Copies of this chain bind each other. A is one copy, B any other.
Amino acid sequence: VSSAEARAESEPPGRPAVEAGSRFLAEIGEQPAALLRLLEQRAAFERVAEEILARRATTIRMVGHGSSDNAASYGVYAFGLLPGWTALRDSISLTVYYGAELDMTGSTVLALSQSGRTPDVVDYLERARRSGAFTVAITNDTESALAAAADAVLSLEAGPEQAVAATKTYTNQVAALGLLAAHTAGLGARFTEELRVVAEIMAGLVPAVLERITNVAVSFSFAGRMFVIGRGAEFATAREVALKLLETCRVAAEPLTATDLAHGPVAALDALFPVWAIASDDETLPAVLEATARAREAGATIIASGSAADAVVGAAYTLPVPVPPTPLLSPLLSVVPGQLFAWALARTKGLDPDEPRGLSKVTLAR
């Protein structure tokens, strides 16, 4: 289903043309409300958490593509830090294409798909269920094939997403993984309250960043490539910001952990190679500061975002975000400047971030 077709289902024909990027921008702004809608699902999260505990299915296998896979990077930390479980972004191809038969008893599958129609994610879930896993669909469409195939369904509640590049679906996926992890650790009530505070902070953050972002983006109108660095829980943010730039701005943006940068890619840097650094006030900050110092030595222009953006020495641009009530929630705020930068840069380059060339809202590719 192409993006145009997907919209045709939900909108009347002959609707007036809208300004390029207006849907993408509107959906960035809807994220706080989407987060609050997710919180209304907390009873379902509690039930799924209880089922995971009852089955002792404590190896968490996450699958998804694109933004969904980026959210899964966050899940590694949410489950690692809250219940202390091993969570992995599982290989879809190992199971679906190669037909490997892994024993998945003791595993919970969290299958992430906005539409619930991504074919190999559905296929993976069905195979994993037969291999003994407890399977959970996390999707906006609770009537989808993915939802039908799973043992349990968690509704993302992001609401209709019309821009091809995901924003509110991504942040609700991150929040959903955090919320589920918190419930498995008996911390669901506290996490819910913390998420509510983050939604409120985010509602103030969007207009504040929006006011400044076009001036920042203009400086990068001619940038064809970029590194986006983050570490730990913020690696998910680095991946997601890079994907938004690839999708909407035709920038070859590559996500790297702060440490990866030193292990090779730093050699590619020069003044024409900007580095977007996510610096959050947590245990990984020293690694991020070390990496940005190396990037600066190589002549790169640094854009620092995150709650510790001001700690990045020599950044050309600084886009700080507020400190959340718990460090594990910082990725929900850190991603906002990146989303808005992608919106502003696309417009600066004369591109329409609502409908990137060559992309559809629902990707059926293998």
Point out residues on A near B: beta carbons under 8 Å. 59, 65-67, 69, 76-77, 80-81, 84-86, 88, 90-94, 97-103, 120, 165, 224-227, 231-232, 235, 243, 246-252, 254, 257-260, 262-270, 273, 282-284, 286-287, 290-291, 294, 297-298, 356-359, 363, 365-366
Q: Which residue of B lies closest to A254 (CB)?
A: B254
Contact status B94-A267, CB under 8 Å: no
Contact status A103-B81, CB under 8 Å: no
Contact status A365-B102, CB under 8 Å: no
CB < 8 Å neighbour of A259 from B80, B268, B365: B365
**What are 9 contact pairs spanning A and B, CB under 8 A?**
A97-B283, A98-B282, A225-B225, A246-B267, A247-B264, A252-B252, A252-B268, A287-B365, A294-B358
A99: chain B residues at CB < 8 Å are: 283
CB < 8 Å neighbour of A81 from B59, B80, B100, B250: B100
Contact status B65-A77, CB under 8 Å: no
Contact status A267-B358, CB under 8 Å: yes
A100 to B161, CA, bound (A): 35
Contact status B232-A284, CB under 8 Å: no
CB < 8 Å neighbour of A98 from B85, B258, B283: B283
A263 to B80, CA, bound (A): 27
CB < 8 Å neighbour of A252 from B225, B232, B287, B290: B225
A231: chain B residues at CB < 8 Å are: 93, 97
Name the distance in Å between A349's Cβ and chain B's nearest Cβ: 12
A154 to B221, CA, bound (A): 50
A266: chain B residues at CB < 8 Å are: 358-359
Known interface pairs A268-B246, A287-B366, A359-B264; A88-B88 also in contact (CB < 8 Å): yes
Known interface pairs A243-B265, A291-B365, A365-B263; A84-B100 also in contact (CB < 8 Å): yes
Contact status A298-B267, CB under 8 Å: no
A248: chain B residues at CB < 8 Å are: 267
A268 to B80, CA, bound (A): 34
Closest 3 pairs (CB-CB, A-B):
A66-B263, A262-B365, A225-B252
A263: chain B residues at CB < 8 Å are: 65-66, 363, 365
A267 to B342, CA, bound (A): 13
Which of A65, A226, A270 is the most central at the interface, judged by chain B CB atoms within 10 Å of its CB?
A: A65
